[in-house]
Amino acid sequence: MSLKIPTLEDIYTTHKRIKSLIHKTPVLTSSSINNILGTSISFKCENFQKVGAFKFRGATNACLLLEKENIKNGVTTHSSGNHAAALSLAAKQLNTPAYIVMPENAPLIKKKAVAGYGAQITYCKATLKDRETTLKQIQKKTNATFIHPYDNFDIISGQATCVKELLKENPDLDTIIVPIGGGGLMSGTALYCKLTNPKLKIFGAEPLMANDAYKSYKKGKLILADSPKTIADGLLTSLSPLTFEIIKNNVDDIFTVSEQSIIEAMRMVWERMKIIIEPSSAVPLAAIIENKTIFRNQKVGIIISGGNIDLENLPFKP
Amino acid sequence: MSLKIPTLEDIYTTHKRIKSLIHKTPVLTSSSINNILGTSISFKCENFQKVGAFKFRGATNACLLLEKENIKNGVTTHSSGNHAAALSLAAKQLNTPAYIVMPENAPLIKKKAVAGYGAQITYCKATLKDRETTLKQIQKKTNATFIHPYDNFDIISGQATCVKELLKENPDLDTIIVPIGGGGLMSGTALYCKLTNPKLKIFGAEPLMANDAYKSYKKGKLILADSPKTIADGLLTSLSPLTFEIIKNNVDDIFTVSEQSIIEAMRMVWERMKIIIEPSSAVPLAAIIENKTIFRNQKVGIIISGGNIDLENLPFKP
């Protein structure tokens, strides 16, 4: 079976389609972080995107592409949080209902956000199996269109628009590093970069404690996460057939990082840049912290994937 | 005795003098905060200023204006934190030593920052009297020039440049609200606004638990703070003769707010805008939260004074 993969033309069309509905997020730099790490980093700040995460790009694209006859039945998905919030707001803007399956251990701020956008939430256990079973029940009952958080052509095209904006603002980057959860952002980013500038190095970054993408990439076959456990709650999910196919062919390497480095990187950004990023977003910077010599004197682009985190439950210790 | 007060010409000259050394900080808005409060707020983000606070403007100006023969002896001050960090970095850039007196209860992040800029720190008790005594000892020993954190013409001229930038970007604001500690930012802001647009409403905001400026303003005479205690650690200091004189004549009113509203406002900014602000910076937004009807449908400018806060010791409760 050959999988349908977005072309450059698809990504351009997608960007035009969603442009007026999304924020063009800023690219920030920090001279003190650059001095500490000996690198020149451009942070594309999707924590300032609507719903506080890049996921709004793909979700908006998918909702805009719903068949006319399906709009009234709504959309449904399972997600630990940011895709859920993104789909809920995108659906709300289209006046279509959203039915969301969330693992019961999702961060409170993400549960609140989804509820705040008017979606109907069903909680399930935090396993992929229970998420999928619960989703099927809801689909049967509502006829809503399932918008997969990443194993979806339209979602991947949407996420690709983020690095397109970053490279337009900073065309001379040497390297891009992106966090890998289900691989939607990684796939879209790698596709766009390799299609426009094959010399750009494209790296993924993943928690060592949820290293299914790393293992899949190294073994050359899709390996699902086996009870992953990481502070980077957005990166618990496994790659899908579509995202694995794209990542396998377009990513130069994947770094895995410790939980301690993730917290160190997150703290560095909070303290030095005065912006709030969620743990998943700190994983690429953690990869630089753990591999300083590899990135020394490079111009690196990092996508800050989101900024949703429970403020009562932060990992910072004296 | 008549006090020397900055003119519009002084503020213009100051801005030219310091412009290349400071960051031009962004003005941010949040549609969700505007919706919640029924107001249109422009936040001038001095948390993104060098040293993470507006204080770098005044300190840079004061250091640039040192007499040639005094440069080698250095500068000294007492400050709970942001002015100390600002003076330390400004002095470092001029290759002149900085001697800083800090109250022992200053936030750890502020102590670290001052040390990081290479200043020599002397700790004292958290009373104005002990700060002044310790400072005098250091002045005697070093011959360093005392740069008062706010009772100083050059400092006030420097702080005034912040609202100048805000109004250049948003010329149609109705109201400006600024936090009041020692009154340096408030004085500079009120002076510039009343000199350029007398119709602009200029309000101060102060913690109820440190309401010396409110009391002074209402009684028409300078009243010092009596063991103030507030989470807004930048606002513990009292007005000085110079800042009181300017505030008395140029500020339209002063709001006092509860500790609970300060935390609520701070949380609102962290969660909705994904930026880190310190408690003192949340005081103007707290004033809007406590007085929604007064500010309904107004275009309000708020100066976010700084973003320095100990991440291990946050006030957010479930």
pLDDT tens digits, residue range B184-211? 999 999 999 999 999 999 999 999 999 9
CB pairs under 8 A between A and B: 42
**Residues A171 and A208 grouped into a single domain:** yes
Return the residue of B nearest to A31 by Cα: B50
Chain A positions touching B307 (Cβ under 8 A) are: 274
**Residues B184 and B282 grouped into a single domain:** yes
pLDDT for B274 equals: 97
User: How many structural domains comprise chain A?
Assistant: 2
Residue in the structure block whose two tokens are 């005479």: B221
**Residues B138 and B267 grouped into a single domain:** no
Whether the CB of B47 is below 8 Å from some CB of chain A: the reply is yes
Q: Which of A120, A146, A172 is the last residue of a domain?
A: A146
**Residues A135 and A201 grouped into a single domain:** no
- Residues B311, A311: C-beta atoms closer than 8 Å: no
Whether the CB of A279 is below 8 Å from some CB of chain B: the reply is no
**Residues B285 and B190 grouped into a single domain:** yes
pLDDT for A127 equals: 82
Nearest CA to A140 out of A73, A84, A94, A193 is that of A73
**Residues A157 and A273 grouped into a single domain:** yes
What span, in angstroms and rounded, lies between the C-alpha atoms of A48 and A269?
14
- Measured in degrees and rounded to the nearest 5, phi and psi for residue B172 equal -100, 25
- Measured in degrees and rounded to the nearest 5, phi and psi for residue A49 equal -70, 160
Question: Which residue in B48, B109, B274 is closest to A276 by CB distance?
Answer: B274
pTM: 0.94
Return the residue of B nearest to A308 by Cα: B271
- Residues A314, B311: C-beta atoms closer than 8 Å: yes
Lowest-confidence range among A11-15, A74-78, A105-109, B47-51?
Answer: A105-109
- Measured in degrees and rounded to the nearest 5, phi and psi for residue B103 equal -65, 140
Residue A1 within any structural domain of the chain: no
Cβ contact B186:B245 at 8 Å: no
**Residues A172 and A247 grouped into a single domain:** yes
What span, in angstroms and rounded, lies between the C-alpha atoms of B22 and A171?
27
Domain that holds residue A211: 8-54+153-304
Which residues are A306's β-sheet partners?
A53
> Could you tell me the CA-to-CA distances from B171 to A27, A286, B164, B165, B295 in Å, in that order?
26, 42, 10, 10, 18
Mean pLDDT for the stretch of residues A113-141: 92
Exposure on the CB side of residue A4, measured as CA atoms within 13 A: 6
Residue A311 within any structural domain of the chain: no
Those of residues 80-119 in A touching chain B at CB distance below 8 A are 108-109
Q: Is A4 left (phi over 0), alpha (psi -120 to 50) or beta?
A: beta
pLDDT for B113 equals: 87
* pLDDT tens digits, one per residue of B20-33: 999 999 999 999 99
pLDDT for B2 equals: 77
Residue B286 within any structural domain of the chain: yes
- Residues B318, A312: C-beta atoms closer than 8 Å: yes
- Residues B48, A274: C-beta atoms closer than 8 Å: yes
Q: Which one of the listed residues A50, A55, A111, A164 is annotated catalytic?
A: A55
Return the residue of B nearest to A309 by Cα: B271
pLDDT for B1 equals: 57
Question: Considering chain A, what is the average pLDDT of its residues?
Answer: 95
> Could you tell me the CA-to-CA distances from B59 to A288, B76, B97, B98 in Å, in that order?
34, 11, 14, 11
**Residues A83 and A204 grouped into a single domain:** no
Q: CB pairs under 8 A, 24+ apart, for B128-136?
A: B128/B224, B128/B237, B128/B238, B130/B103, B131/B78, B131/B101, B131/B103, B132/B78, B134/B78, B134/B101, B135/B76, B135/B77, B135/B78, B135/B101
Tokens for A179, please give them.
């966090």
**Residues A44 and A61 grouped into a single domain:** no
pLDDT for B304 equals: 98
Lowest-confidence range among A204-213, B47-56, B148-157, B227-236?
Answer: B227-236
Question: Which residue in B52, B109, B314 is closest to A311 by CB distance?
Answer: B314
Whether the CB of A318 is below 8 Å from some CB of chain B: the reply is yes
Chain B positions touching A317 (Cβ under 8 A) are: 312
What span, in angstroms and rounded, lies between the C-alpha atoms of B119 and A254?
42
What span, in angstroms and rounded, lies between the C-alpha atoms of A37 and A289?
7
What span, in angstroms and rounded, lies between the C-alpha atoms of B226 and B217?
16
pLDDT cut 70: percent of chain A above it: 100
* pLDDT tens digits, one per residue of A81-102: 899 999 999 999 989 999 999 9
Please return the burial class of B187, using the count of CB atoms within 10 Å of its CB with bins 0-12, 13-18 and 19+: buried
Chain A positions touching B113 (Cβ under 8 A) are: none
**Residues B95 and B224 grouped into a single domain:** no
Q: Which of A146, A161, A186 is the last residue of a domain?
A: A146
Residue B3 within any structural domain of the chain: no
What span, in angstroms and rounded, lies between the C-alpha atoms of A176 and A192?
11
Residue in the structure block whose two tokens are 């002084």: B10
What CATH number has the domain bearing residue B126?
3.40.50.1100
Return the residue of A nearest to B271 by Cα: A308
> Could you tell me the CA-to-CA distances from A32 to A40, A271, B271 in Å, in that order?
10, 10, 25
- Residues A274, B274: C-beta atoms closer than 8 Å: no
Return the residue of B nearest to A317 by Cα: B312
**Residues B109 and B175 grouped into a single domain:** no
Q: Does the annotation count B32 as an active-site position? A: no
Q: Which of B146, B166, B188 is the last residue of a domain?
A: B146
What span, in angstroms and rounded, lies between the C-alpha atoms of B35 and A258?
40
Residue B63 within any structural domain of the chain: yes
Determine which of A54, A305, A311 to mutate to test the interface with B (most B C-beta atoms within 10 Å).
Answer: A311
What span, in angstroms and rounded, lies between the C-alpha atoms of B306 and B96?
25
Q: Flag whether pLDDT at A11 surpasses 90.
A: yes
pLDDT for B48 equals: 97
Chain B positions touching A314 (Cβ under 8 A) are: 311, 314
Residue B180 within any structural domain of the chain: yes
pLDDT cut 90: percent of chain A above it: 88
Q: Flag whether pLDDT at A2 surpasses 80.
A: no
Chain A positions touching B318 (Cβ under 8 A) are: 108, 312
- Residues B316, A318: C-beta atoms closer than 8 Å: no
- Amino acid identity of residue B154, one-letter, is D
Cβ contact A114:A121 at 8 Å: yes
pLDDT for A1 equals: 57
Q: Which one of the listed residues B40, B44, B50, B55 is annotated catalytic?
A: B55
**Residues B163 and B297 grouped into a single domain:** yes
Residue A288 within any structural domain of the chain: yes
Indicate the Cα dihedral angle B77, B79, B83, B87, nearest 10°: 30
Q: Does the annotation count A80 as an active-site position? A: yes
Residue A95 within any structural domain of the chain: yes
* ipTM score for this prediction: 0.93
